[in-house]
Amino acid sequence: MNIKNRLIIMNFLQFFVWGSWLISIGGYLGGTLHFTGSQIGAVFSTLGIASLFMPALLGIVADKWMNAEKVLGLSHIIGAFMLIWASTVSDPAVFFWVMLLNSMFYMPTIALNNTVSYVILEKNGFNIVKEFPPIRFWGTVGFIAAMWIVDLLGWKSSNMQLIFSAFSAIALGIYAFTMPACTPSKTSSKKSLLTSLGLDAFVLFKQRKMLVFFMFAMFLGAALQITNAFGGSFLESFNITHPDTFGVKHPILLLSISQISETLFILTIPFFLYRFGIKKVMLMSIFAWVLRFGLFAYGDPGSKLYLLVLSMIVYGMAFDFFNISGSLFVEKEVQPGIRASAQGLFMFMTNGLGAMIGGYCSGLVVDYFTVDKVSNWQNIWLAFAVYALIIGIIFPFAFKYEHDPKAIGNIAH
C-alpha cells in the first residue's frame, strides 16, 4: 500500500474514534443516565481543559524524546482504556474525571496526527500544502461514518458508543506503531519553557488588533461545542410530539449533515477570503452561528424539518469560516519566529479557554430553562442565538482591519 493511502487510513481512524461518541454522548448522558445540563456541559468542558496544556506537553515529548508515531499510538491506546472505564460509570462526578483523562490523551492526538502526516509526506518528497488537505478530508469522512454507524446500530443512547470508540482507538494505536519512524528532531538550540509550551506568543496581546482578535476567538470558541453537547438531547425531546419522524429516530444522521456541510464549505474559503477579506468572512461566521441557533429554536423534526436541515447546512459556514480564516489571519499577521506559537495560542483560546467556558456556561443555560426535567429548548437556543448576535454586533466596531486582496491571495492560492 502506498504511503498516501496509509495516511488516509490513519486520518480516517483519527476522527472515526471521536465521531463515535462526540455528537451522540449528550443524548446518552441526558436521556439514559439523566445527567443535568450543567453536568453534560462539564463533560464537554473536559475537551477545553485538556487542550489548555496536554497538546503542548505531548508535543514536547514527540519533539525531544520519543517518535511522534509512537506517542500517537500510545495516546490512543491509553485513551481507549479511559473510554472503556467511562462506559461502566453512571456517577456524574466520576464520569467527568474519567472523560477528562480521556481528553488529556485524545486531544493531543489531533496535532500529533498532523505532525506524523507532515513528517512522512516530507520524507517521501511530497508537497505538504498540496497533498495533506485531500488526506485530511478523509478524517471528516471517518467522523461522519462513525456517527452513522452509531445511529444505525442503535447505540446513540447506550454505552456501546464508548466501547465502539475504544476498540477503534486501540486499532488506531496499533496501526500508528506501524507507520514510518518520525524521530525527534536533533537540534542544538535550547528553547525556553515558554517557547516549548507555545506561550511566547502571548506577547501579541500587546497589540490591540491581536488582543481583540484573540478575545473574540475565545468568545466564538465557546459556541463550538454547544450543539455537539445538546443537539442529540434536543432532537430526542420530540419523542412525545413527533415520535415517528426521521429526526427523532435518527438524530445523529440528521446532525451529520453539519459535518457534510463542513467539508463542502472548506472548498469555498479561498474565494470568500479573496473577495471579502478576513474581517467580513469572520463576521459571516458569527452571523451563521446566530442562524445555527435560531433555526434550532424554531425547527422541529415534523413540518419544520427544513429549518433543522438549514441549520445543519449553515454550520459549515459557522465552523469553517471562523476556524480556517482565523488561522490564516494569524499566519499572515504574525512574524515567522512565533507563527507556530501563535497558532498554538489560537487553539488555546478557542478549543481551550473558549470550549471550557462554553461547556460550563451552556450547561447552566440549559438548567436555567429546565423545570421538572422538561427543557424549554426554544428559549435555550434563542439564548445562544442572542449571545452570538451580541458578538456579531460588537465585532465589526472592535476589530479594526483593512482588507488587502493581494496579501490574502498569497495565502489563499
Do residues 45 and 356 make contact, with C-beta atoms less than 8 angstroms apart?
Answer: yes
Rg of the chain over Cα atoms, rounded to whole angstroms, equals 21
State residue 166's pLDDT score. Answer: 96
User: 175-185: buried (b, 16+ CB within 10 Å) or exposed (e) per residue?
Assistant: bbeebeebeee
Q: Where does the pLDDT of residue 94 fall: very low under 50, low under 70, confident under 90, or very high at 90 and above? A: very high
pLDDT in tens, 15-54: 999 989 988 888 889 888 988 888 988 888 888 888 877 7
State residue 180's pLDDT score. Answer: 85
H helix count then E strand count, the chain? 20, 2
Q: How many CB atoms lie within 10 A of CB 124?
A: 13
- More confidently predicted of 333 and 96: 96
Q: Where does the pLDDT of residue 361 fall: very low under 50, low under 70, confident under 90, or very high at 90 and above? A: confident
Write the secondary structure of 164-229 as one string of H (helix), E (strand) and C (coil): HHHHHHHHHHHHHHCCCCCCCCCCCCCCCHHHHCCHHHHHHHHCHHHHHHHHHHHHHHCCCCHHHH
Q: What percent of the chain has pLDDT over 70?
A: 89
3-state secondary structure of 381: helix
State residue 408's pLDDT score. Answer: 53
Do residues 240 and 292 make contact, with C-beta atoms less than 8 angstroms apart?
Answer: no
CATH architecture under which domain 198-413 falls = Up-down Bundle (1.20)
State residue 403's pLDDT score. Answer: 61
- Per-domain residue ranges for the chain? 1-182, 198-413
3-state secondary structure of 370: strand
pLDDT exceeds 80 at position 409 = no
State residue 57's pLDDT score. Answer: 73
Do residues 268 and 324 make contact, with C-beta atoms less than 8 angstroms apart?
Answer: no
Which DSSP category does 87 fall into?
A: T
Judge whether 1-182 and 198-413 match in fold: yes
State residue 413's pLDDT score. Answer: 47
Q: Which residues contact 222 (CB under 8 A, 6 or more apart)?
A: 354, 355, 357, 358, 361, 362
Task: Report the residue count for the chain.
Answer: 413
What average pLDDT does this structure show over 53-66? 74
3-state DSSP percent of the chain in helix, strand and coil, to 5: 80, 0, 20
pTM of the full structure: 0.78
What average pLDDT does this structure show over 265-291? 86
Q: Where does the pLDDT of residue 188 fall: very low under 50, low under 70, confident under 90, or very high at 90 and above? A: very low
> Which residue from 220, 219, 218, 161 is spatially nearest to 23, judged by alpha carbons?
161
Do residues 41 and 91 make contact, with C-beta atoms less than 8 angstroms apart?
Answer: no
What average pLDDT does this structure show over 61-66? 75
pLDDT exceeds 50 at position 321 = yes
Do residues 146 and 19 make contact, with C-beta atoms less than 8 angstroms apart?
Answer: yes
Q: Which residues pair with 371 in a beta bridge?
A: 374
State residue 230's pLDDT score. Answer: 83
State residue 200's pLDDT score. Answer: 62
- More confidently predicted of 176 and 135: 176
In the chain, the amino acid numbered 283 is L
Distance CA 307, CA 74 (A): 43
Which three three-digit cell numbers place residue 379? 428559549
What average pLDDT does this structure show over 322-346? 72
Distance CA 57, CA 61 (A): 7
Which three three-digit cell numbers place residue 66? 520519543
Average pLDDT, the chain: 84
Distance CA 380, CA 41 (A): 14
Q: Which residues contact 394 (CB under 8 A, 6 or more apart)?
A: none
What average pLDDT does this structure show over 160-187? 88
Q: Where does the pLDDT of residue 63 fall: very low under 50, low under 70, confident under 90, or very high at 90 and above? A: low
Distance CA 103, CA 98 (A): 9
In this structure, of 56-60, 204-208, 286-290, 366-370, the range with the lowest mean pLDDT score is 56-60
**Is the CATH number 1.20.1250.20 carried by domain 1-182?**
yes
- More confidently predicted of 7 and 248: 7
In this structure, of 5-19, 102-116, 320-334, the range with the lowest mean pLDDT score is 320-334
pLDDT in tens, 195-234: 655 556 677 788 888 888 889 988 988 887 787 778 878 8
pLDDT exceeds 70 at position 253 = yes
Q: Where does the pLDDT of residue 275 fall: very low under 50, low under 70, confident under 90, or very high at 90 and above? A: confident
Cα 174 to Cα 106, 146, 170, 214: the distances in Å are 15, 19, 6, 38
Q: Which residues contact 249 (CB under 8 A, 6 or more apart)?
A: none
What average pLDDT does this structure show over 121-129? 75
